Amino acid sequence: MGSGNADGAWRLNKPSRSRKTKIADGDRPSVSPYIAGIACRCPRCGRGRLFNGFLTLAPACENCGLDYSFADAGDGPAVFVILIAGFLVVGAAVVVESVWRPPYWVHALLWIPTILAVTLGLLRPLKGLMVALQFHHNAEEGRPDRGKR
Ligand SMILES: [Zn+2]
C-alpha cells in the first residue's frame, strides 16, 4: 500500500511549529528580499553575508544569527541562469551573425568568455534572491500528511 492517508489521499502539511518559530522569530524584515537577495545579504537583517564561498551558504547570519538551514534553492538559480543567459547570448550571437557574418573563430572568441561571465555572474545573485524570497514567503518543501488522526 502507498504511504498516503487511510483514504489514499495525499495532503500537504502546514509548516511545522519548529520551522515557523525558526523563520518567524523576531520582527519581520523591513529589508526588501530583492535587494538583500541580489546583494547576497541576510534576508532578515540585510547586513550579514549569505555565502561562505562562491555558492556555499554560511551556516547562519553573522549579524542577526538567522539560521540558514531553511534555505534550499535547489536547481532554481541554475534554471534561471540558463534561461536568461541563453536568451541574451544566443540572441546576441544571432544578431552578430546576421549583421556581420564573421568567421566561426570570432564567434568562439566572443561568446565563450561572454557565456562564462554571464552565467557565473548571475548564479550567485540569483541564488541569493531565491533564498531571500524563500525566507520572505516562508516557503518550504511540501510533505505528505501522514494522517495523525
Ligand atoms: Zn541577518
Q: How deeply is 133 buried, as exposed, middle or buried, from its count of CB atoms within 10 A (0-12, 13-18, 19+)?
A: middle
pLDDT tens string 25-73: 555 557 999 999 999 999 999 999 999 999 999 999 999 999 999 998 8
Asked if the structure places residue 99 within a domain, the reply is yes
Asked if the structure places residue 5 within a domain, the reply is no
Domain extent at residue 116 = 17-136
| Range from 24-28, 49-53, 80-84, 98-102 carrying the lowest mean pLDDT | 24-28
Asked if the structure places residue 91 within a domain, the reply is yes
Global pTM value? 0.73
Asked if the structure places residue 148 within a domain, the reply is no
Asked if the structure places residue 11 within a domain, the reply is no
Domain count, the chain: 1
Q: Which three cell numbers stand for residue 100?
A: 556581420
The neighbour count for residue 61, using CB atoms within 10 Å, is: 20
42 alpha carbon to ligand 1 midpoint, in Å?
A: 4
Asked if the structure places residue 123 within a domain, the reply is yes
56 alpha carbon to ligand 1 midpoint, in Å?
A: 16
E strands, the chain, where? none
% of the chain surpassing 90 pLDDT: 68
- pLDDT range class, residue 15, cuts 50, 70, 90: very low
Beta pairing partners, 41: 49
Give residue 29's pLDDT. Answer: 58
21 alpha carbon to ligand 1 midpoint, in Å?
A: 15
Give residue 13's pLDDT. Answer: 46
115 alpha carbon to ligand 1 midpoint, in Å?
A: 33
Give residue 6's pLDDT. Answer: 46
Give residue 108's pLDDT. Answer: 96
Asked if the structure places residue 86 within a domain, the reply is yes
36 alpha carbon to ligand 1 midpoint, in Å?
A: 10
Asked if the structure places residue 55 within a domain, the reply is yes
